[in-house]
Every structure is written in structure tokens, then in C-alpha cells.
Amino acid sequence: MLNLIVTIPFLSALILALVYLYNPSKKREKLYASVGVGSILITTILSLNTLYQVVSSGESINTLLYEWISIDNFTINLAFIADPLSAVMIGFITFIGLLIHIYAVGYMSGDEGFGKFFSYFNLFMGSMLLLVLANTPIIMFIGWELVGLSSYLLIGYYHRDGANIKAANKAFILNRVGDFGFIMGILILFLVAGSNGFTFTDIESGISKVSLTTLSFIGVLLFVGAMGKSAQIPLYVWLPDAMAGPTPVSALIHAATMVTAGVYMVARFSFIYELIPNVGEFIAIIGVSSALFAAIIASYQSDIKKILAYSTMSQLGYMFVAVGLGFYDEGIFHVFTHAFFKALLFMGAGAVIIAMHHEQNIFKMGGLKKELKLVYITMFIATLAISGIPPFAGFFSKDAILISAYTSGYTTIWVLASLTAALTSYYMFRLLFVVFHSKENTKSLVKLTPSMTVPLVILAIGATLAGFAQNGFSEFLSITNSSLNIEHSLELMLESLNVVLALIGMGVAYKLYSKDAIEAKANTLVKKVIINKFYIDEIYELIIMKPIVAASKLIANVIDPKGFDLVIKLNVWIYRSTGEVFSKLQNGLVRYYALYMIIGVSAMSIYIIIKLGV
């Protein structure tokens, strides 16, 4: 069954691609939609079935699809494993994926590349499932790369505008930089621990004899891959630019699924990271720094999708705090809840954008709560969830992370994370109030189709209820080793503190933005720096891009023509001049040819006389 879960999306992607390429200009939206959504529907049913089986039987499922490499003892097979971690991941990935596919049918209707879009979308789903279900790091890496590829294809979907292509390139290249670290990590891991075989269980059994320094090295290298994929500092700069893709893409890939692959990877390799808590600290520090950094930038952004992008980066930081400190269950739980409300937020934003004729600046919108009632209510629920206000989902997951940080003794991280929580609440409510409350705009709105509004409702229900699954979640996953021994009263105090911080953020936003929404101007130096996203892009351009481009130019214009070409020309010149010398021998006069023969005979005679002593 796991085989089907992975192959059906790939198959449907192939079918859609072939049908689309056969005649790209024919409008077959119904066909594309039914194949594209239908395959994900089947996959969702199968995944939920798998999850049910794993929950009820308590055992993991292993299936083998294809024996790929088998040399002596070394085998790498295309095999899948559905242990609790994978089962949970495929459960919500397919479910939310299905909802976003349905949403995309409405969002992308009328677009000329409809079939191409669904083909890429299904390709992405297949790759993500491959990544999550793989039972060896190598197959996971194949999924990792394919997901990056799908992301590139989908970000650059509106390919007629050059800026979108640049954004897609940026995403792919930064991903690649991270993948370099990931590959190094896998290679070293194989060298030291791969003697029994290379599935996760085999590595786990072989890990005990590896030195801690090597393990730390491996841990850091694997995390570099996660930095690229999950948009943490310093490899995050692609995520805001990735918003150039269509909104369903941002919802699925850059909010709910692909960017969480890094967190999944750390959880999957938990048996390594348990042994190297220093690296875990490092991961947590990167996580909380990214969270705070992104929150600060988001507070001053004006583009609705960019605000949500930085919000994603911020929440991912929270997840890495959790898995870095060893609280894998809590981290995955936050992935789970975050998928619901972030997808909901993006889809709502997409609905608003469509309604406002593709306007994306929030300060050009306003007072939409009357016209877009359903979108308003669902986005309100999502904003409450992300700010951590009970009883919505985000409260449970964020709290679990903050409390675990506090009780493990990492007070600084706890302080910064709590501060970020307040900021999160502030900027999310700022977005809500500016778009839906403040002063009215007078543009007429586009009607929204049910395919776009129904998924919003379903996700809103999920965002409300998902939090209550927390206990079952931890019991089911049970990867975390450290238990939180904490007094009930202390726990209550910390929780209320979080709620208070969130309410403070909401209050400030209400005061500033619910009546008149004024875009922030860059009049002070601090504001200027923040609005320009701390000039990180420009710094990268200066330190990294310019030297590389200069070096390329140097090689192309100086070293290549003058250096290598010179050697080749010299070679050619030797052959040519030798040829010219020898060609003079062929002058067409037979007399000379006879002379050459006599010379040969003479040489032979001399040889015979001397050697044979005649």
C-alpha cells in the first residue's frame, strides 16, 4: 500500500504532463482537475488508512518497491517504512494537500497552463511522500532533491516575467548550497556507520561505535541541509522571493510541507542528535534567532504574502528550537498544527488577492470584513491559532515548545521565543486589521468560487480542533526521551504568561491599525534597516556574488583565451609546421621518390654491414 501512496502521484503527474504536452492550448480543465485532484484523493484515503493501521496495531509497516543497488553486502532498495513519525506526516501532508488541490482548481481556473500546474503539483506531492516514507537516507535525499525541483518549477510558473525566474533560481541554488552539506553528512555517516546496511534502523544500530566529534560533524552538516530547505539563517533569503509563485504553491510548499522537511529530517535522525546535545543547542539557537529575526522584519512588511512568508520562517524557527533541544514530539506537533493554520492563512490571502484583482499590498485593501465574510472568519480563526490563544491549535503546540525550553534550563531561548510570540501576535493581527477592518476601499470585488471557500472552512475546523490531539500525539510518536517534570502550577503560570503576551500583541495592533492603516515610512534609521530586511540580500550580493562573478569573468576573459587557448594553439602550431615540413617531400617528382627509396635501402645496408659484420 505504501508503494501505491508514492507512485500514484508520480503516475498522475506523468499522465497530466503527457496530455498537456500533446496539445497545450486546448482547454481541458475538467480533465486535468479530475485527474490531479482524484489521484491525491486516492492517496489521502490510503494514507489515512495507513495511519489508522499503524495507530491500531502499534507496529510499523515496511514495504519494498524495487531492489535498486545490491552489491555484495551493500544494498539500497526503494523501500518505505511507515513508523509513527512517517504515518503522522503522510496523514496530514496528504489531507492538507488534497484541500489545497481543490482550492487550486478554483484559484488557477482560466489559466493557460492549468494542466502543467497540476502536473507539477502532483510531482511535488509524490516527491514529498517519497521523502517522508523513505527508509534510507539516500532515498530520502532523492525525495529531498525532487521536492526542491518541484519548488523551482512551481515558483517560476509565471515564467513570462523574468523576476519570477530569478526567484525560482534563487530558491533552487540556495537549496543546492544546503544540499551540499546534506550530502557530505550522509557520506560521512555512511563511512562510519554504514557497515550493516544503510536503512535508518541499520544506521541506528551501527551508531554506537562512532566518536562524538564525528557525530557532531555529521549533525551539523545534516542541519546545513535543513537550513537551506527550511529557510533558517543564513540560507533563508529565497523564501520571501518564492512568494512570486501562485498562492496554492505558497500554501502547500512553502508553508505546510516542503519547508517542514528539515524538521522531519532532524526528527528522523533523532538517534544521532540525542547523542550530541551541543549541536542540538546550536540548532535551537539558530531556530530562535531566525524566529526573532523574521518576526521583526514581518512587522514592517506591506505585501500580504511576504508577511506570511516571514511568519513561516518564524514558526519554523520554533520547530527547530523544539527538535534542537530534544523535544521531537513537540516539534512535530507544531509542524502538524502549523500546517493547518498556515495553509489556511495562505489560502485566505489568496482569496483576498483574487477578490481584489490580484492586489497584494495590504495598505491598498481595507474593510473587507463585510464583503468577504467567510474569508474573514476563517482567517480570524487562523490568526488566533498562530498567536497562541486558547483553545485554538497554536496555543497547545507553541506552549509545549516554550515550556520545554524553560524547563530544560535554556532561559535565554525561552525569553527570546516568548518575545517572538508577542511579535507574532502583533504582526498577524496587524495584517488582519489592515486588510479586514480599517477604512474601506471602494474597489469592486471578484466573486469567489466554492472550490476556494470550502477548503477554508475545513481547515478552520482543523485549526480549532487539532490542538486537542496533543497527548495522543506524544504518546503515539514517543521519540522524545526527556520528560517534562514540571509542577502543575508553574506550567499554568507559564501558559498564562504566553496568553497575556499574545493579547498584548493583539491589543497594540488593534490600537494602531484598526481605524486608520498607514503604511510605515522609512524615516528613522532603524525603520529603514528593518523595512529593507536588514539589507541581507545586498550583503550576500556584495560578499558572495560579486567575487564569484568577477572570478568567472576573469577566467572567461583572461585565463581561458590566453592560458588554455595558448597551449592548444601551440599544440596545433607544432603539428601544422611539422606537417608543412614533411609536405615538402611530396613534390610530385618521381625522381625524388626513387631517391627516398635508395636512402632507405642504403640505411638498411649500413645496418646490415655494421650489425651483421659482413
Determine the interface stretch with other proteins among 256-264, 337-345, 528-536, 581-589 (rule: CB under 8 A): 581-589
- Our finding on whether 278 is near other proteins (CB under 8 A) is no
* CA nearest to 492, candidates 417, 415, 390, 420: 390
Rounded to a whole number of angstroms, the distance between the first and last alpha carbons of the chain is 91
- Asked if 608 touches other proteins (CB under 8 A), the answer is yes
How far CA 131 is from CA of 78, 82, 146, 370, 563, in Å, comes to 11, 12, 9, 43, 45
Q: How far is the CB of 575 from other proteins (least distance, A)?
A: 17
CB of 599 to other proteins, least distance (A): 7
User: Per-residue DSSP letters for 279-301?
Assistant: HHHHHHHHHHHHHHHHHHHHTT-
Q: Kindly state the number of chain residues that form the binding site for other proteins, as judged by CB under 8 A.
A: 19
CB-based contact 449:109 (threshold 8 Å)? yes
Phi, psi of 368 (to 5 degrees): -85, 0
Site membership for other proteins, residue 361 (CB under 8 A): no
- The verdict on whether omega for the bond into residue 84 sits within 30 degrees of 0, i.e. cis, is no
Check residue 481 for interaction with other proteins (CB under 8 A): no
The DSSP call for residue 194 is: -
Q: Helix %, strand %, coil % for the chain, to 5? A: 75, 5, 20
Q: What is the nearest approach in angstroms of other proteins to the Cβ of residue 544? A: 56
Shortest Cβ distance from residue 566 to other proteins (Å)?
Answer: 28
CB of 577 to other proteins, least distance (A): 14
Using CB under 8 A as the binding rule, whether residue 581 contacts other proteins is answered as no
**SS3 readout for 394-434:** HHHHHHHHHHHHHHCCCHHHHHHHHHHHHHHHHHHHHHHHH
Asked if 576 touches other proteins (CB under 8 A), the answer is no
Q: Is 579 in the site for other proteins (CB under 8 A)?
A: no
Cβ proximity to other proteins: between 558 and 608 the closer is 608
Specify the stretch interacting with other proteins by CB under 8 A; choose among 216-224, 436-444, 458-466, 583-591. 583-591
Least Å from the CB of residue 160 to other proteins: 55
Let me know: does 498 contact 402? Beta carbons within 8 Å.
yes
Cα diameter, the chain? 121
Nearer to other proteins, 486 or 598 (CB): 598
| Cell numbers standing for residue 119 | 502536473
583 in contact with other proteins (CB under 8 A): yes
Considering the rule CB under 8 A, would residue 602 count as an interface residue with other proteins?
yes
Residue 227 corresponds to which cell in the numbers above? Answer: 537550513
Nearer to other proteins, 450 or 588 (CB): 588
User: What residues contact residue 184 under an 8 Å CB cut-off, 6+ apart?
Assistant: 221
The reply on whether position 586 binds other proteins by CB under 8 A is yes
Q: Which of 358, 488, 587, 611 binds other proteins (CB under 8 A)?
A: 587
Q: How many CB atoms lie within 10 A of CB 522?
A: 13
Q: Of the ranges 79-87, 215-223, 394-402, 582-590, which one interacts with other proteins (CB under 8 A)?
A: 582-590
Q: SS3 for 585?
A: coil
Residue 485, interface with other proteins (CB under 8 A)? no
Quick one: CA torsion of 198, 202, 203, 208, rounded to 10 degrees? -150
Minimum separation from the CB atom of position 543 to other proteins (A): 58
CB 339 within 8 A of CB 99: no
Closest CB 585 distance from other proteins, rounded Å: 9
Q: Could you tell me which residues come within 8 angstroms of residue 357 by beta carbon, excluding any fewer than 6 positions away?
A: 443, 446
> Closer CB to other proteins, residue 450 or residue 579?
579
Site string for other proteins, 518-537 (x = CB under 8 A): --------------------
Nearest to 109 by CA among 341, 350, 445, 365: 350
CB of 576 to other proteins, least distance (A): 14
538: its cell numbers: 545586498
Residue number with CB closer to other proteins (525 or 590): 590
Choices 363-371, 505-513, 543-551, 590-598; region in contact with other proteins by CB under 8 A: 590-598
Does residue 611 interact with other proteins by CB under 8 A? no
Minimum distance, C-beta of residue 570 to other proteins, in the bound complex (Å): 24
Contact segment (CB under 8 A) with other proteins among 183-191, 348-356, 404-412, 587-595 equals 587-595
Q: Which of 173, 603 has the CB closer to other proteins?
A: 603
Shortest spacing between CB 602 and other proteins, in angstroms: 5
**In the complex, minimum distance from the CB of residue 601 to other proteins, in angstroms, rounded to a whole number:** 6
Q: Does 577 bind other proteins (CB under 8 A)?
A: no
CB of 155 to other proteins, least distance (A): 60
Find out whether 96 and 339 touch, Cβ atoms under 8 Å: yes
Closest approach of other proteins to the CB of residue 609, in Å: 6
Q: Which of 271, 144, 114 minimizes the C-alpha distance to 200?
A: 271
- CA pair distance 608, 614, nearest whole angstrom: 7
The secondary structure of 86-124 as a DSSP string is HHHHHHHHHHHHHHHHHHHHHHTTT-TTHHHHHHHHHHH
71 beta partners: 74
Determine, following the binding rule CB under 8 A, whether residue 588 of this chain makes contact with other proteins.
Answer: yes
Q: For other proteins, which stretch binds (CB under 8 A), given 94-102, 342-350, 376-384, 584-592?
A: 584-592
- 3-class state of residue 528 by DSSP: helix
Q: Which is nearer to other proteins, 568 or 599 (CB)?
A: 599
Identity of the residue, 212 or 609, whose beta carbon is nearer to other proteins in the bound complex: 609
- What is each CA distance from 421 to 124, 268, 389, 399, in whole angstroms? 31, 27, 11, 10
- Per CB under 8 A, the segment of 171-179, 216-224, 280-288, 598-606 that binds other proteins is 598-606
Least distance from other proteins to the Cβ atom of residue 594, Å? 6
Q: Which of 209, 358, 591, 611 binds other proteins (CB under 8 A)?
A: 591
Instruction: For other proteins, give the closer residue by CB, 547 or 600.
Output: 600
Which one, 45 or 606, has the nearer CB to other proteins? 606
Residues in contact with other proteins by the rule CB under 8 A:
583-584, 586-591, 594-595, 598-599, 601-602, 605-606, 608-609, 614
